[in-house]
């Protein structure tokens, strides 16, 4: 089946109009200040994520996808700085929060899973310790409440046992008890003794929670896994553990940065299936970052195509795959290998991703664009809504410029070989 025909059940089940906005990113700019110059990794990105939807962020390596995700969580590494924009999560601008306040959101309401689970997990800590740490950090109050309830229950059992003992002694003293009744009393007292357990420590309660969430991600021997270390698990298992950690606090938003890139295809399918199931169960919205349009087509409600620090096309998965408009998106879709086009040369996009220190003038895609207009290297395309919730940044769809003269490439033959 052609990728453009893939059925996107997610979009069928939800109408975006009816959804509530969870995250609103507006004109986000994140630059890195290096010795060579300023790397404009994210340069004016805007998008929304609605409750219970999957938004796919797609683009070539180095186009700013991961930096966008890290900016949301304010985890941009040293030399990087968010210089402009707003990131509203449930109407709170995360960029205005202090580091302390931001920690309340990270891992709790917004979590992130990374591409390589082996590098993301601590190699010298057991799985149990790592997963339970999430509960100890973000769910301590809940654990304390459980501990208090267990303490109360224990006290109740102790009191009940004491009362039974007292009653037995009194009855024995007054000679008002038969041997048969004595036996029943003693059985009850022993039974209560067995039921009275030590109140578990918080770390043990956290381990129980870790076991439960590991079971949720489809690992059968969850108790056994708790004692093991990351190097003892397969890639798929490690990614499941990462997902379990991400979902530990039942977050509202899960950012998955290339979650299946390091895995083989069968495990990829299992992980994507698992993410879909967990999304349904926990009602978590997902920002799925990938360069794989196949994954996007099967998983996402809407898609934002990113190129060189900007979003260039933003639409529902159905609209975008049925009728891609931006020349870059068309190039990406045409570059997907298909069994129907075997024995034909695979289409590619000419050239390379530009250097973000010296990005091309005007439209950043102009040095690679087959449909380029004369003005494309001079004027930056505006962000236009061409139909309901379908946005694009390309002069070809701007009434002001769409009729401008076409750029003439020096080598027409070369252009033909790249045509979509
Ligand atoms: Fe191509 Fe011009 Fe559109 Fe950029 S603005 S994608 S160069 S046609």
Per-residue model confidence as pLDDT tens digits over 208-251: 999 998 988 888 888 999 999 999 998 888 888 988 888 888 88
- Closest C-alpha residue for ligand 1 atom 5: 394
- Cα 375 to middle of ligand 1, angstroms: 9
- Partners of 289 in the β-ladder: 57, 257
Closest Cα partner for 197 from 139, 129, 133, 147? Answer: 147
Amino acid 346: pLDDT: 77
Q: Which atom of ligand 1 is nearest to the CA of 363?
A: 4
Whether residue 12 has pLDDT greater than 50:
no
Q: Which atom of ligand 1 is nearest to the CA of 376?
A: 2
- Cα 209 to middle of ligand 1, angstroms: 52
- Cα 396 to middle of ligand 1, angstroms: 7
CA distance 208 to 230: 19
- Cα 291 to middle of ligand 1, angstroms: 21
Residues with beta carbon inside 6 Å of ligand 1?
326-327, 363, 365-366, 369, 371-373, 376, 381, 394-396
Average pLDDT, the chain: 87
Amino acid 84: pLDDT: 94
CA distances for 269 relative to 138, 243, 275, 277, 284, angstroms = 30, 14, 10, 12, 19
Which two tokens mark 395? 């002069």
- Cα 353 to middle of ligand 1, angstroms: 15
Query: Dihedral (C-alpha) 94, 78, 61, 329: value to the nearest 10 degrees?
Result: 40
- In sequence order, the 6+-apart residues with CB closer than 8 A to the CB of 101 are none
Amino acid 15: pLDDT: 45
Q: pLDDT for 376-409, tens place per residue?
A: 999 999 999 998 889 999 999 999 998 999 998 8
Whether residue 13 has pLDDT greater than 50:
no
CA distance 373 to 396: 8
- In sequence order, the 6+-apart residues with CB closer than 8 A to the CB of 216 are 244, 247, 278, 281
Buried b (16+ CB within 10 A) or exposed e, 27-48: ebbbbbeeeeeebbbbbbbbbb
Whether residue 11 has pLDDT greater than 50:
no
Query: What mean pLDDT do residues 40-55 have?
Result: 93
- Cα 116 to middle of ligand 1, angstroms: 34
DSSP 4: G
Q: pLDDT for 99-122, tens place per residue?
A: 999 988 988 899 998 877 778 899
Q: pLDDT for 132-187, tens place per residue?
A: 999 998 889 999 999 999 999 999 999 999 999 999 999 999 888 888 999 998 99
Q: What's the pTM value of the predicted model, to 2 decimals?
A: 0.81
- Cα 390 to middle of ligand 1, angstroms: 17
- Closest C-alpha residue for ligand 1 atom 8: 372
Q: Which atom of ligand 1 is nearest to the CA of 327?
A: 6
Amino acid 371: pLDDT: 93
Q: Which atom of ligand 1 is nearest to the CA of 312?
A: 6
Q: Which atom of ligand 1 is nearest to the CA of 364?
A: 4
Q: Which atom of ligand 1 is nearest to the CA of 381?
A: 5
Which two tokens mark 385? 């809504």
- Cα 169 to middle of ligand 1, angstroms: 93
Amino acid 6: pLDDT: 44
What does DSSP say about strands 310-316 and 302-307: parallel, antiparallel, or unpaired? antiparallel
- Cα 312 to middle of ligand 1, angstroms: 10
- Cα 366 to middle of ligand 1, angstroms: 6
Q: pLDDT for 319-362, tens place per residue?
A: 999 999 999 999 998 888 777 766 777 788 888 888 889 999 99
Pocket test for ligand 1, best of 307, 326, 366, 402 (most atoms within 8 A of CB): 366
Pocket test for ligand 1, best of 329, 368, 372, 384 (most atoms within 8 A of CB): 372
Amino acid 262: pLDDT: 67
Write out the H or E segment, with its range, that includes residue 99: helix 99-105
Write out the H or E segment, with its range, that includes residue 285: strand 285-290
Query: Dihedral (C-alpha) 114, 115, 116, 121: value to the nearest 10 degrees?
Result: 10
Poorest-confidence range of 67-71, 112-116, 202-206, 300-304?
112-116
Amino acid 259: pLDDT: 83
Band of the pLDDT at 55, cuts 50, 70, 90?
very high
């Amino acid at each position: 089946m052609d990728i453009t025909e893939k059925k996107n059940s997610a979009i069928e089940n939800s109408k975006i109009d009816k959804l509530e906005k969870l995250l609103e990113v507006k004109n986000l700019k994140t630059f890195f200040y290096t010795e060579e110059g300023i790397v404009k990794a994210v340069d004016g990105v805007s998008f929304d994520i609605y409750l219970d939807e999957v938004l796919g962020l797609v683009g070539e390596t180095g186009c700013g996808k991961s930096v966008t995700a890290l900016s949301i969580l304010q985890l941009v590494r040293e030399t990087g700085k968010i210089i402009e924009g707003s990131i509203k999560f449930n109407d709170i601008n995360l960029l205005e929060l202090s580091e302390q306040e931001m920690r309340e959101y990270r891992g709790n309401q917004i979590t992130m899973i990374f591409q390589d689970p082996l590098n993301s997990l601590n190699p010298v800590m057991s799985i149990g310790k790592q997963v339970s740490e999430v509960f100890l950090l973000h769910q301590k109050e809940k654990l304390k409440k459980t501990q208090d309830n267990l303490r109360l229950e224990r006290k109740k059992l102790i009191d009940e046992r004491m009362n039974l003992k007292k009653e037995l002694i009194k009855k024995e003293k007054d000679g008002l008890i038969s041997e048969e009744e004595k036996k029943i009393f003693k059985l009850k007292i022993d039974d209560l003794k067995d039921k009275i357990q030590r109140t578990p420590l918080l770390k043990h309660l956290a381990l129980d929670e870790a076991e439960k969430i590991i079971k949720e991600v489809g690992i059968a021997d969850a108790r056994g896994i708790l004692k093991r270390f990351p190097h003892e698990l397969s890639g798929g298992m490690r990614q499941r553990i990462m997902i379990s950690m991400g979902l530990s606090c039942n977050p509202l938003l899960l950012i998955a940065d290339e979650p299946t890139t390091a895995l083989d295809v069968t495990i990829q399918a299992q992980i994507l299936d698992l993410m879909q199931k967990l999304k349904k169960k926990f009602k978590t919205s997902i920002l799925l970052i990938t360069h794989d349009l196949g994954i996007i087509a099967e998983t996402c409600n809407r898609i934002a195509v990113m190129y060189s620090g900007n979003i260039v096309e933003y639409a529902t998965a159905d609209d975008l795959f049925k009728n891609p408009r931006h020349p870059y998106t068309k190039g990406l879709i045409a570059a997907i290998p298909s069994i129907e086009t075997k024995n034909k040369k695979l289409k590619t996009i000419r050239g390379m991703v530009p250097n973000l220190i010296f990005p091309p003038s005007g439209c950043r895609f102009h040095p690679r664009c087959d449909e380029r207009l004369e003005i494309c290297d001079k004027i930056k395309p505006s962000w236009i809504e061409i139909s309901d919730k379908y946005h694009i940044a390309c002069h070809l769809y701007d009434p002001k410029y769409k009729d401008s003269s076409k750029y003439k490439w020096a080598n027409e033959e070369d252009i033909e070989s790249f045509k979509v």
